[in-house]
Amino acid sequence: MKPVFMVIMMKKNKIVSGIMAMVCLPVAFLHGQTSKEKETFSWSNLPGVEQPVFNTDTFNIVQFGSVADGLTLNTNSINKAISTCSEKVVA
């Protein structure tokens, strides 16, 4: 049998948890999206996506001594390619 104090505290914790849920959940739902955003963006009016732009420089690690056999360790040639690439990058 549980002491009376523990039963009262358990009931008190459930009440406090319930009150917190009643207060916090509606606030969380309201904060998520305003009515203005709902009108601006819809399935027929989605925001545009900016396409990323990449440099056209490509480095083939075979040119730096890599062997494409699946057995050779190509660490040095990959590091050479990375070094060459980083030297050509303009900050």
Decide: 75 and 64 in contact? Cβ < 8 Å: no
pLDDT band at 44 (very low <50, low <70, confident <90, very high): confident
Residue 82, pLDDT above cutoff 70: yes
Alpha carbon distance 54, 52 (integer Å): 7
pLDDT band at 54 (very low <50, low <70, confident <90, very high): confident
Decide: 60 and 34 in contact? Cβ < 8 Å: no
pTM of the model: 0.38
Alpha carbon distance 65, 81 (integer Å): 10
pLDDT of residue 19: 72
Of 28 and 37, more confident:
28
Query: Which class for 4: exposed (0-12), middle (13-18), buried (19 or more C-beta within 10 A)?
Result: exposed
Alpha carbon distance 35, 37 (integer Å): 5
